[in-house]
């Protein structure tokens, strides 16, 4: 199957990066290379881009899509949480812009055998990096009822999490849960029918929760943001597209903390904590897709773009 992924908020993200023709840029979630392609088009002879993705299919597809840009492009198969060390291996200390397009790609959802989708029956997999040993099947069959409840409640934000966890444990007591179809059916039975009619596909939240837990998506994001801001040159920008409230909250909170890290009580006349602002939030409110994009690509509906700009090093901290 061909790797296809429609880049969400493409123009807004590229505009938000403020690309310099001779700059160094990082696409931390390369996917099919849609954002990277547009960055490359704006680079001069001295400009370059490093594309990072943990998915082998994405790395292969982006390599083909970006091949005409030659040596401007370096592609690395890795998780963006290792961005700092991967860049150091390439002899790069600082960059002029970084983008992340989070969540699951259209290709991953549409490739049935990857087990991301509740719409087709396939083995329960959901690994973004197929080199990893643990799959969604292990979580569904091995986690205790309390752990399953926590995952579905916290990462799926599903009010029926307790009932879904109980049904999963009950069913796997009869036989192992091996496929997305089995799991979808179990979730269906755990949610009252009148609620199912009102709120989209009943398995959507559970699948999201298991995928986030398996790939450590929120943990990876939370642990990477400070490093990425540190990697930016003065005036460099970090553009992040999120697809659900959990990711967006982490990005919003991290950007706020980096803009104003001062821990002094508000009534102190002078800051004494010595924490220095790393820059400023460009998007006071997130940028959302326009009506046209939402009509053309239903997966863009929940997308939000936030942008942070690195300040001049040694700039004054905010009290």
Average pLDDT over residues 183-209: 89
Q: Percent of the chain scored above 90 by pLDDT? A: 80
Distance CA 24, CA 268 (A): 40
Asked if pLDDT for residue 198 goes beyond 80, the answer is no
User: What residues does each domain of the chain span?
Assistant: 10-107+217-310, 116-215
Q: What is the pLDDT of residues 250-289, one digit of tens each?
A: 999 999 999 999 989 988 888 888 889 999 999 999 999 9
**Architecture category of domain 10-107+217-310 in CATH:** 3-Layer(aba) Sandwich (3.40)
Q: Which residue has the higher pLDDT, 112 or 304?
A: 304
pTM for this prediction: 0.91
Cα 138 to Cα 99, 104, 109, 179, 210, distances in angstroms: 32, 20, 20, 11, 10
Mean pLDDT for 306-317 is 73
pLDDT reported for residue 200: 77
Stretch 102-122: mean pLDDT: 87
More confident residue, 200 or 220: 220
CA–CA dist 151, 139 (Å, integer): 10
Could you tell me which residue, 22 or 196, shows the higher pLDDT?
22
Beta bridge partners of 239: 99, 307
* pLDDT at residue 319 tops 70: no
In this predicted structure, the answer to whether residue 6 has a pLDDT above a threshold of 80 is no
User: What's phi and psi for 48, nearest 5 deg?
Assistant: -150, 160
108 — pLDDT class (breaks 50, 70, 90): confident
pLDDT at residue 111 in the model? 84
Q: What is the mean pLDDT of residues 47-60?
A: 95
CATH architecture observed for domain 116-215: Orthogonal Bundle (1.10)
């Amino acid at each position: 199957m061909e790797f296809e992924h429609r880049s969400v908020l493409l123009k807004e993200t590229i505009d938000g990066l403020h690309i310099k023709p001779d700059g160094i840029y990082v696409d931390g979630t390369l996917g099919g290379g849609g954002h990277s392609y547009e960055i490359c088009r704006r680079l001069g002879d001295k400009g370059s881009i490093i594309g990072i993705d943990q998915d082998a299919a994405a790395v292969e597809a982006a390599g083909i899509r970006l091949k005409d840009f030659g040596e401007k492009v370096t592609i690395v198969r890795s998780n963006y949480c290792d961005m700092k060390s991967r860049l150091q291996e390439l002899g790069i200390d600082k960059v002029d812009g970084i983008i992340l397009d989070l969540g699951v790609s259209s290709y991953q959802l549409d490739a049935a055998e990857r087990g991301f989708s509740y719409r087709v029956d396939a083995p329960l997999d959901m690994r973004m990096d197929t080199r990893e040993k643990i799959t969604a099947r292990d979580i569904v069959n091995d986690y205790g009822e309390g752990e399953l409840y926590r995952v579905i409640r916290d990462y799926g934000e599903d009010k029926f999490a307790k009932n879904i966890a109980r049904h999963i444990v009950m069913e796997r007591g009869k036989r192992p849960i091996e496929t997305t179809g089995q799991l979808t059916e179990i979730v269906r039975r755990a949610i009252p029918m009148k609620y199912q009619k009102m709120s989209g596909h009943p398995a959507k939240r559970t699948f999201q929760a298991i995928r986030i837990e398996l790939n450590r998506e929120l943990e990876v994001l939370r642990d990477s943001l400070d490093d990425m801001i540190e990697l930016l040159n003065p005036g460099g920008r970090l553009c992040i597209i999120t697809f659900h409230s959990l990711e967006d909250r982490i990005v919003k909170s991290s950007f706020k903390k980096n803009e104003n890290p001062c821990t002094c009580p508000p009534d102190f006349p002078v800051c004494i904590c010595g924490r220095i602002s790393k820059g400023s939030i460009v998007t006071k409110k997130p940028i959302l897709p326009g009506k046209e994009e939402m009509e053309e690509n239903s997966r863009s509906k929940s997308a939000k773009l936030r942008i942070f700009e690195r300040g001049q090093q040694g700039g004054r901290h905010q009290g």
